[in-house]
């Protein structure tokens, strides 16, 4: 039988109408809510509800663990059923995550990354560099990173077109954006290009969207953020939430439980990403997410 590369395999399966999926997980009945697989809206990409985030303090928290400890942590999360991993080009962790994921079949996990939309950079070259750094043949989800201006939809057209070209080649499987601040968030509903929306979310509005992009505490803006989440969901977008523990501000366990419940049960997000530095944090996040569905 002729050898087929991972990239050729994914091109063939997507071209014939197959949807990207996650293999080798227990049956649906055996999974906890945290590791159950859900579809991110019209993207068709299937993810576990809990994602392993690698961007705490731009990834320096994870990087300080060192490659071996970090790889062991990724393996622990994988063994516990987490098959959704998140990074970004601007973090210090993409190469570390690529190394940590080497032991696992590429079609058994979902890799989401985010690209910095520099005005003078070449999108095609940037994507190729990101593939090499992450040691992967394709990205399941590519997001425009840190969109924070009200005109981001227009100013990132070049990057959207670049993603479209890579998506046509099945090197990027789905597309979206990560926003900071209400002026940027308000541009998401009704946007036909977006398939995945990454939106900050917690019940207290800690380090969440407000009148500007700055990471302030904006409890008064929580109702609007929830409303925008529900609008983009109606548009068919998948929603991945971040800042579930207020960028580390929630030191009380009850707040971390409440934040997870609020994201899923009140706002209605599809999945959440949490940055980890220990097995205990992974265990707790799984437990907290399970409690949100109890």
Instruction: Report the C-alpha gap between 44 and 93 in whole angstroms.
Output: 26
Does residue 26 have a pLDDT over 60? no
> Comparing C-alpha atoms, which of 67, 56, 58 is closest to residue 97?
67
**Tokens (6 digits) for 11:** 């091109």
Give burial (CB, 10 Å; 0-12/13-18/19+) of 261: middle
Per-domain residue ranges for the chain? 6-10+21-292
The counts of H helices and E strands in the chain are: 11, 10
Q: What pLDDT, in 10s, does the model give residues 214-262?
A: 888 999 999 999 999 999 999 999 999 999 888 888 999 999 999 999 9
Q: What pLDDT, in 10s, does the model give residues 82-134?
A: 999 999 999 999 999 999 999 999 999 999 999 999 999 999 999 999 999 99
Q: Which of 22-26, 27-31, 75-79, 136-140 is the least confident region?
A: 27-31
CATH code 3.20.20.60 for 6-10+21-292: no
What CA–CA distances, in Å, run from 91 to 35, 60, 96, 267? 25, 8, 10, 28
The predicted model scores a pTM of 0.90
Instruction: Report the C-alpha gap between 176 and 203 in whole angstroms.
Output: 24
φ/ψ (deg, to 5) at 189: -60, 135
Strands (E), the chain: 37-39, 46-48, 50-53, 84-86, 110-115, 141-147, 175-179, 196-200, 238-242, 271-275
Q: What pLDDT, in 10s, does the model give residues 185-224?
A: 999 999 999 999 999 999 999 999 999 888 889 999 999 9
């Amino acid at each position: 039988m002729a050898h087929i590369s991972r990239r050729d395999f994914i091109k063939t399966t997507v071209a014939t109408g197959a949807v990207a999926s996650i293999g080798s997980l227990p049956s649906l009945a055996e999974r906890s809510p945290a590791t159950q697989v859900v579809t991110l809206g019209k993207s068709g990409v299937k993810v576990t509800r809990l994602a392993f985030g690698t961007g705490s303090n731009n990834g320096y928290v994870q990087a300080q663990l060192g490659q071996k400890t970090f790889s062991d942590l990724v393996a622990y999360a994988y063994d516990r059923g987490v098959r959704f991993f998140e990074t970004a080009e601007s973090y210090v962790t993409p190469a570390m995550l690529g190394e940590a994921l080497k032991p696992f079949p590429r079609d058994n996990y979902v890799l989401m990354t985010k690209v910095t939309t520099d005005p003078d950079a070449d999108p095609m070259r940037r994507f190729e560099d990101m593939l090499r750094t992450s040691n992967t043949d394709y990205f399941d989800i590519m997001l425009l990173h840190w969109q924070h201006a009200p005109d981001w939809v227009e100013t990132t057209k070049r990057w959207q077109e670049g993603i479209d070209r890579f998506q046509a080649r099945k090197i990027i499987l789905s597309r979206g954006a990560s926003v900071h601040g209400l002026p940027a968030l308000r541009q998401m509903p009704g946007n036909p290009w977006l398939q995945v929306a990454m939106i900050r979310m917690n019940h207290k509005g800690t380090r969440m969207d407000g009148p500007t992009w700055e990471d302030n505490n904006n409890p008064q803006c929580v109702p609007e953020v929830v409303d925008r989440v529900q609008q983009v969901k109606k548009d068919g977008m998948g929603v991945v939430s971040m800042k579930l523990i207020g960028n580390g501000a929630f030191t009380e366990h009850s707040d971390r439980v409440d934040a997870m419940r609020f994201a899923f049960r009140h706002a209605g997000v599809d999945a959440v990403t949490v940055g980890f530095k220990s097995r205990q944090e992974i265990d707790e996040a799984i437990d907290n997410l399970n409690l949100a569905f109890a």
